[in-house]
Amino acid sequence: MTQPVADGQPEDGTGSDGSAQAARRRRLPMPDEFLDAVERSEPGTEPEPGLHPDHDPSDYGDLGTADRPGEEGNEIGGAAHSAPGNLLRSSAIMAAGTVVSRITGFIRTIVLAAALGTQLLGDAYQTANMVPFAVYDLLIGGLLASVFVPFLVKRKKQDADGGTATEQRLFTVVLLVLTVMTMAAIAAAEWLIRIYAGDFTGPQHDAATLLARFLLAQIFFIGASGIASAMLNSRNRFGAPMWAPVLNNLVIIGVGVMFLVITGPATPDSVTDGQLTLLGVGTAGGQVLQALVLVWALFAAGFRWRPRLDLRGSGLGEAVRTAAWMLVYVGVAQAGLLVTTNVATRAGVRAAQEGESVAGAGITAYQYASMLFQLPYAIIAVSVITALLPRMSAHVADGRKDLVRLDFSRGLRLSAVLIVPLSVAMIVFAIPFCVMIYANGNTSVEDARSIGRILMVFAVMLIPFTMFQLQMRVYYALGDTRTPSLFALPAEAAHAALAVALLFLAPAQLIVVLLPIAYGSYYVVGSALAWRGLRRRLNGMDGRRILRTLLLLYAASVPSALFAIAMALGFGLLPGTLLPNLLGMATGGAVGALLFVLVAKRIGVTEVTTFLEMVRSRLLSR
């Protein structure tokens, strides 16, 4: 099978020497290599046949996390099921694009925090910019990821014309639907703001509504980017989809700097319509540029659009019906987002009305903390998932319960080797780190501390979050989309109940600090239900080994955490904020990482030992 390559890269993923062996020597181990190494280090299993997929797994695309709309919300593309397992190592350009996109996205967030702060104006912008992504994901984004991408890949392989007719129909239909959606959303901007932020009043409501009228225009360009990326992926062109978001980030960074220079300290009462127009048009402009670049790359790849609406017999309707349960899952996720947004925005408004300090009390602080919370998952677990999906799907096709069970176990343990110590480090360093990066411009030190406190609570939920995401991919490999959707209903009920209860039980200033507990309850309940279902289906889940590994990893993190706390407190006695925080994190992080490795090896965490041996052997062979 031909492997996907980035634009202009050799198909074997090597450099100009064309030597795959030389290329392997030049890079560090990738997730699939580590999974192979763990497999070799563990005893084999007796074959357990009898596993049968509910549907062909390649009929479905991957929805990512499906609960965080936005530029950085969906970490796994819709083509994950149809892409081979070594996708991440097929090109250095792809990996570099992902890293640069993440870095520029992070800088974008820092600039926006400095320009808008985390209080009422920041909440107005965050809500207005989140609504178009939420509307898109609910009405068409889920369809594109779960249905149209895998459908397009299949038709390109099966149809006599190489899927050309399907591409023309799909491109036409998507653009028409996007046009109608965008016009309707702009017309309903005020109502959409009331739905997502019912307590916004006066200047804050007016600012959010004005911003939304510009930002909702993004719906069309978000969708155009999505369909263009999907069609590029189906052509094995991955470079443009990886790099185009960087341009979007750079535009928004520039707009944020301009806004900060022009307005200085800004609130909903002081900001002018012209300044809000700059912010709205500039933000939407980044999305427009991204879409134009992707469409240009698609045409450069040979696509020529000829509008077609002859949908009868095209198979699109059947594809949508096949993935109906995936759309239920998307709907539940978006309902959860609606609950979270309403609770967080109401908390920010209530804190201001009660005369309390409103530092970091609303949706903006929550979103900034959430972005940092998902970074370890985005960097580590997504790589593991990309490697696991084709392996699990192949074992399902062979009917091997034992190998699917072990794939999940190894994937979770591999992710945990890095995620557990990172989550502990996030708890220790959350406040100094957030102060260091966010306490600029219109974001005060106390605002940044509030973001850090939210991040500390989020970090506790990182393992349940990762476990749930991996369990969902086991179900997807089984071709089962119905069961995860049913699990999502009681999980979301738990989340909604706890989130709404915070409005009545917690002080306004503490609502968003405690809101990650409600968010995490979704994944705790969902993981428990998914574990029970998979245990029956796979004759167990290797639970004892997973639990032992997790407990040992947390135990190995304790000395590192204690040392890091001591460094943070010690350097915190120095004057200033930037240098003490930087020194505390650098010293505590470096020595803490070494302590973690030494303790993990001492108490016998075999996954850490295997990983270190692989890295050591690779470095020595360079």
pLDDT digits (tens, 9 = 90+) for 596-612: 999 999 998 888 888 77
Q: Which helix (H) or strand (E) holds 277?
A: helix 273-300
Does any domain span residue 390?
Answer: yes
Distances (CA, A) of 68 to 75, 511, 567, 600: 10, 19, 34, 34
Tokens matching residue 457: 């609570």
Task: Report how many domains make up the chain.
Answer: 1
Say yes or no to pLDDT of 579 above 60.
Answer: yes
Mean pLDDT over 305-316 rounds to 80
pLDDT of residue 519: 95
Mean pLDDT over 545-572 rounds to 95
pLDDT, tens digit (0-9, with 9 covering 90-100), for 317-364: 777 777 788 889 989 999 999 999 999 999 999 888 876 555 678 999
187: DSSP letter? H
Name the residue with higher pLDDT: 519 or 380: 519
Highest mean pLDDT among 166-170, 272-276, 320-324: 272-276
Does any domain span residue 366?
Answer: yes
pLDDT, tens digit (0-9, with 9 covering 90-100), for 180-229: 999 999 999 999 999 999 899 899 999 999 999 999 999 999 999 989 98
Name the residue with higher pLDDT: 93 or 298: 298
Mean pLDDT over 388-396 rounds to 84
Cα-only R_g, the chain? 24
Closest CA relative to residue 464, chosen from 367, 377, 542: 377
For residue 314, the SS3 value is coil
120-136 vs 189-196: helix crossing angle, rounded to 10: 110
Does any domain span residue 374?
Answer: yes
Residue type for 465, please? Answer: F
Q: How far apart are CA 363 and CA 277, in angstroms?
A: 21
Mean pLDDT over 480-485 rounds to 91
Name the residue with higher pLDDT: 525 or 28: 525
Does any domain span residue 28?
Answer: no
Phi, psi of 11 (to 5 degrees): -70, -20
DSSP string, 463-507: HHHHHHHHHHHHHHHTT--HHHHHHHHHHHHHHHHHHHHHHHHS-
pLDDT band at 33 (very low <50, low <70, confident <90, very high): low
Mean pLDDT over 553-574 rounds to 94
pLDDT of residue 25: 42
pLDDT of residue 380: 80
Quote the strand ranges of 295-409, DSSP E.
Answer: none
Q: How far apart are CA 543 and CA 525, in angstroms?
A: 17
pLDDT band at 313 (very low <50, low <70, confident <90, very high): low
- Decide: 88 and 31 in contact? Cβ < 8 Å: yes
For residue 5, the SS3 value is strand
Mean pLDDT over 14-39 rounds to 53
pLDDT of residue 34: 67
Q: Helix H segments across 2-81? A: 20-26, 31-41
The neighbouring-strand residues paired with 5 are: 237
622: DSSP letter? -
Q: How far apart are CA 112 and CA 192, in angstroms?
A: 23
Q: Minimum mean pLDDT among 20-29, 281-290, 371-380, 570-579: which range? A: 20-29
Does any domain span residue 521?
Answer: yes
Q: Note the pTM of the prediction, 2 decimals.
A: 0.88
312 burial level (CB within 10 Å; 0-12, 13-18, 19+): exposed
Say yes or no to pLDDT of 97 above 70.
Answer: no
Does any domain span residue 51?
Answer: no
237: DSSP letter? B
Does any domain span residue 620?
Answer: no
Q: How far apart are CA 351 and CA 356, in angstroms?
A: 5
The neighbouring-strand residues paired with 237 are: 5
Domain that holds residue 182: 57-541
pLDDT of residue 378: 78
Highest mean pLDDT among 68-72, 90-94, 562-566: 562-566
Name the residue with higher pLDDT: 618 or 119: 119
Does any domain span residue 606?
Answer: no
For residue 19, the SS3 value is coil
pLDDT, tens digit (0-9, with 9 covering 90-100), for 404-430: 999 999 889 988 999 999 999 999 999
401-438 vs 578-602: helix crossing angle, rounded to 10: 160
pLDDT of residue 32: 66
As a whole-number percent, the residues of the chain with pLDDT over 70 amount to 86
pLDDT of residue 92: 53
Say yes or no to pLDDT of 126 above 60.
Answer: yes
Mean pLDDT over 89-112 rounds to 74
Phi, psi of 476 (to 5 degrees): -65, -40
